[in-house]
Structure 1
Amino acid sequence: MSDAILSLRGVKTDIAQYHILQGVDLDVPRGQVTMLLGRNGVGKTTTLRTIMGHWRARAGTIRLDGDDIAQAPTPAIARRGVGYVPENMGIFSDLTVEENMTLAAASGPLERERLEWIFGAFPALRTFWRSEAGNLSGGQKQMLSIARAMAEERKLYLIDEPTKGLAPAIVSTMAGALRDLKRRGASILLVEQNFSVARALGDRAAVMDDGRIVWTGEMAELAGDAALQERLMGLSMETA
């Protein structure tokens, strides 16, 4: 894909004796939201962690804006403008919301305009600005995790299951914030099990199975074809 901000070719990743990624080929178009979908345990989280350098690829290339980052350390990948929101949130529980956000803005003080935009997306963070992050509810912690990635404009956002286990009202807030980030032209690779969120946010979709990408195409095409969903993932978006 000529305007892909991120391209993976033949990426293989092992964890201990297990071959998790078995030759992943994936393109993430610039300025679009790419949904990484599939059943549990097929390699979606490992794909994000490999891109971010938490797991080292045994083979293959990972190109960010044309440069191979497959063997780069995680801090160097982050400095290249990649924001990562892990499934386990990755916040500092003993620090306040303010301190978490300040640390996330690595290049300097938080810009007031950007902070007000984040407060607009997640009003609870303004309310609990001086509170320790460990005292937040689960949904508020997830908001903070997303907000940390949004503290600066990133070249690419990797987001792992941001709505998992959240109440419907919090899911709606989270989806609205991600939709706003998308409107700002962000490039996002998003793992998401909530298919209504995937359908609403995704421009393109890539479906994984057994450590490989088995289908890529427009999100609208996948969302509109129940038989294709059943064949690829064993379920239908209409009933999910």
Structure 2
Amino acid sequence: MSDPILELSAVHTDIAQYHILQGVDLTVPRGGVTMLLGRNGVGKTTTLRTIIGHWQARSGSLRFNGTDITSMPTPARARAGIGFVPEDMGIFSDLTVEENMILAAASGPLDPARMQWIFRAFPPLKTFWRAEAGNLSGGQKQMLSIARAMAEERKLYLIDEPTKGLAPAIISTMASALRDLKAKGASILLVEQNFAVAKALGDTAAVMDDGRIVWAGEMAELASDAALQDRLMGLSMEAH
């Protein structure tokens, strides 16, 4: 694979006394969507948090856009062009939607053209621009969480289960926004339990089990092989 945006090599990460990542090898191609799949508790969220630097890898290496970021602090990784959308959304409930977005645009004022694009992707954010984020619905909070990562152009977006617990109409809005983000040339690493979304958005996929990547390849190959899905994850996408 030529010129990947992100490469993890033999990454081990511990959380307290627990050895969570046990030699992760992961390559994320540039300019596409890579789905990070697997059962609950196998290390997907820890992988994202190790990439952004919330957890420090005990050993192994991480290269982003040609640079070794293994020992780089989280703010420097963000400045280098990595955006992160955590599973718990990470918004400031006591601040307005506008204030949340202003804080996310660390390099300067919000770009009007980019904000118009975000408003087209997530119309409720324009409607509730002056409202406190804590008063938004669950789906609207998730929109804000993703929009905060999109406030500035990033080279790589790490997104952890953006459709979890959302209604089908909101999931459709999320998928459309991520498709638009990809069309703008962004690279995305996406943890997702909704296999219909994974199949629709993913270009490539990596499957985790017990802290390791156990399969990697084209998303279309995984989506078309129910036996492979069952072997890797104990389920079939056709049932979800």
When normalised by structure 1's length, the TM-score is 0.99
Q: Confirm or deny that 1:118 pairs with 2:118.
A: yes
CA apart distance, 1:2: 2.5
1:183 aligned partner, one-letter code:
A
Structure 1 runs (4+) deviating above 4 angstroms are none
Question: Cα RMSD (Å) of the superposition?
Answer: 0.6
- The one-letter amino acid paired with 2:57 is A
Q: Which AA in structure 2 matches 1:48?
A: L
Distance 2:105 2:66 in 1: 25
3-state SS of paired residue (2:130) = coil
1:56 match: secondary structure: coil
In structure 2, the gaps of 5 or more residues are none
> How far apart are residue 151 of structure 1 and its match?
0.5
What per-residue deviation string (whole Å, max 9, x for no partner) do you get for residues 161-198 of structure 1?
00001111111111110111111111000000000000
Q: Within the alignment, does 1:88 sit opposite 2:108 as a pair?
A: no
1:202 aligns with 2:202: yes
Sequence identity percentage: 81
Matched, 1:75 2:75: yes
How do residues 137-156 of structure 1 correspond to structure 2 at under 5 angstroms?
Answer: 137-156=137-156
Residue number in structure 2 paired with 1:11: 11
C-alpha separation in 2, matches of 1:111 and 1:12: 38
User: Partner residue of 2:157?
Assistant: 157
Give, as a single letter, the amino acid of the residue that structure 2 aligns with 1:99: E
How many corresponding residue pairs? 240
Q: Does 1:20 align with 2:20?
A: yes
Residues in 1 aligned to 2:81 and 2:9: alpha-carbon distance in whole angstroms: 21
TM-score with structure 2 setting the length? 0.99
Task: For residue 45 of structure 1, give the secondary structure of its aligned residue in structure 2.
Answer: helix
**For residue 212 of structure 1, what is the aligned residue in structure 2?**
212
Which string of whole-angstrom CA distances, capped at 9 and with x for unpartnered residues, describes residues 203-230 of structure 1? 0000000000000000000000000000
Number of the residue aligned with 2:237: 237
How far 1:106 moved relative to its partner?
1.0
Superposition deviation, residue 17 in structure 1: 1.0
Question: Residue 97 of structure 2 aligns with which residue?
Answer: 97
